[in-house]
Amino acid sequence: MKTPFVTKDQLEAIAAQYPTPFHIYDEQGIRENARRLRKAFAWNPGYREYFAVKAAPTPALLKLLHEEGCGCDCSSMTELIISERCGITGENIMFSSNDTPAEEFQMADRLGAIINLDDLTLVDYLERSIGHVPEKICCRYNPGGVFTLGETREGFQVMDNPGDAKYGMTRAQIAEAFTRLSAMGAKEFGIHAFLASNTLSNDYYPALARILFQLAAELKAETGVHITFINLSGGVGIPYRPEQPANDIAVIGEGVRRAYEEVLVPAGMGDVALYTELGRFMTGPYGHLVTRAIHEKHIYKEYIGVDACACNLMRPAMYGSYHHITVMGKEDQLCDHKYDIAGSLCENNDKFAVDRMLPKIDMGDLLVIHDTGAHGFSMGYNYNGKLRSAELLLKEDGSVELIRRAETPEDYFRTLVW
């Protein structure tokens, strides 16, 4: 059972001012979650969370998280600009990109961001692009092969395929990159890696940390460089299905601490700072897409048509992802009707749910689609001329703030040349 952070009466009042569909975020939930994360890694004095801007590139959310001590993980020019305009600059930005144009490296350097190099060829490319090598630099590692965690407390395996990913350097390449960067003037080095996505396991981060800690100790011995930070990136997931257990960030932080003390401290590296880049974990559960049932169709299946579509939330159409749905005001009714919940795009995959058991839905009912606070609005698009919805923030005092207005047809036409 997933419980919305707003009531039916609240949503009806909000919808009277801001018509559906809209995304709404829970300020209190986001702040409390950021504080739990910071507490879990408080044992590491240099710890910093770099929120993945791609997950929710909305200034109000970036500023909120920055107030809670988070920086920004950026991967493009526009994300760098958003961060700068939010007053987030310098080493509060981690610039992790791939296939990077020179002008984006130049922008990152101008802002004083920590640059994370994705490939060995970027060592020389970076120097040509900005005229020097920064004193503080990071390289992204890809161990190759298939990453498996084995049985977890939830009783299933975590498995991903780094060897099939376009990101990062091989073991030999990162050693060469460190050696060359050192010769070119770099003084402080970091390691970054991402092995698996949306893991529901308290064991994933400690396992990743141990891999990177061992690599750091080896690279220090081989190259003699000063490794000052290790970025564990993202991958800590959220339970999209109500029966799935949530990660315990306190347990995760303790597991990383044990690996740190067992690997880095004996290697004389007990001063290494840890960074994370959590997007989905930070904001995902604290966002809802709110939509209204406007049509019903009875053919070979039962369909409920809503006023949102895949342009508002792409994940179900793109990945077949599950997002829980609450029919507001009917939370306690039996889920005895089987529906496909569909949008209005000219694509048959424009469905938020397929064969979903829900209470009887009447026209005008409000539906909350859960866990859209990350990779929800941010993956929106304008197919069929659909317009992006508004974004709202439910403040800690219960008031609602418009943090991004809905697009208008004039916004859609603005870039056209007639």
For 316-334, the pLDDT digits (tens) are: 999 999 999 999 999 999 9
Name the active-site residue from 139, 309, 335, 346: 346
User: Which of 344-361 are b and which e, b meaning 16 or more Cβ less than 10 Å from the residue's Cβ?
Assistant: bbeeeebbbbeebebbeb
Structure tokens at 136: 């503080």
Sign of CA dihedral 8, 12, 18, 21: positive
pTM given for the model: 0.95
pLDDT for 159 equals 53
pLDDT for 157 equals 55
- Topology, domain 27-284: TIM Barrel (3.20.20)
C-alpha dist (Å) from residue 259 to 97, 234, 252, 397? 28, 18, 11, 41
pLDDT for 194 equals 85
Q: Is 346 a catalytic residue?
A: yes
Domain layout of the chain by residue ranges: 8-23+285-413, 27-284
Structure tokens at 59: 């200034």
Q: Which of 39, 20, 73, 13 is nearest to 374 (CA)?
A: 73
pLDDT for 158 equals 61
CA distance 6 to 18: 15
Amino acid identity, residue 284? G
Assess contact for 119 and 170: CB atoms under 8 A: no
pLDDT for 278 equals 96
For 252-283, the pLDDT digits (tens) are: 999 999 999 999 999 999 999 999 999 999 99
The reply to whether 8-23+285-413 and 27-284 are identical in fold is no
Q: Which of 180, 71, 193, 183 is nearest to 144 (CA)?
A: 193
Question: What string of pLDDT tens digits covers the 418 residues of the chain?
Answer: 899 999 999 999 999 999 999 999 999 999 999 999 999 999 999 999 999 999 999 999 999 999 999 999 999 999 999 999 999 999 999 999 999 999 999 999 999 999 999 999 999 999 999 999 999 999 999 987 676 765 454 445 565 667 677 889 999 999 999 999 999 999 999 999 988 888 999 999 999 999 999 999 999 999 999 999 999 999 999 999 999 999 999 999 999 999 999 999 999 999 999 999 999 999 999 999 999 999 999 999 999 999 999 999 999 999 999 999 999 999 999 999 999 999 999 999 999 999 999 999 999 999 999 999 999 999 999 999 999 999 999 999 999 999 999 999 999 999 999 9
β-bridge partners, 338:
357
* Strand pairing class (366-369; 287-298): antiparallel
Which stretches of 204-286 are assigned E, i.e. beta strand? 227-231, 273-276
What 3-state class would DSSP assign to 404?
Answer: strand
CA distance 401 to 404: 9
For 373-406, the pLDDT digits (tens) are: 999 999 999 999 999 999 999 999 999 999 999 9
Which residues, 6+ apart, have CB-to-CB distance to 235 below 8 Å?
A: 194, 195, 196, 197, 198, 199, 204, 205, 208
Taking each continuous run of H as one helix and of E as one strand, the counts in the chain are 12, 19
CA distance 184 to 203: 38
Q: Which of 391, 390, 381 is nearest to 412 (CA)?
A: 381
CATH number of 8-23+285-413: 2.40.37.10
pLDDT for 373 equals 98
Tell me the backbone φ, ψ of residue 323, rounded to 5 degrees.
Answer: -130, 125
**Please, where are the H alpha helices in 18-116?**
27-40, 59-67, 77-85, 102-111
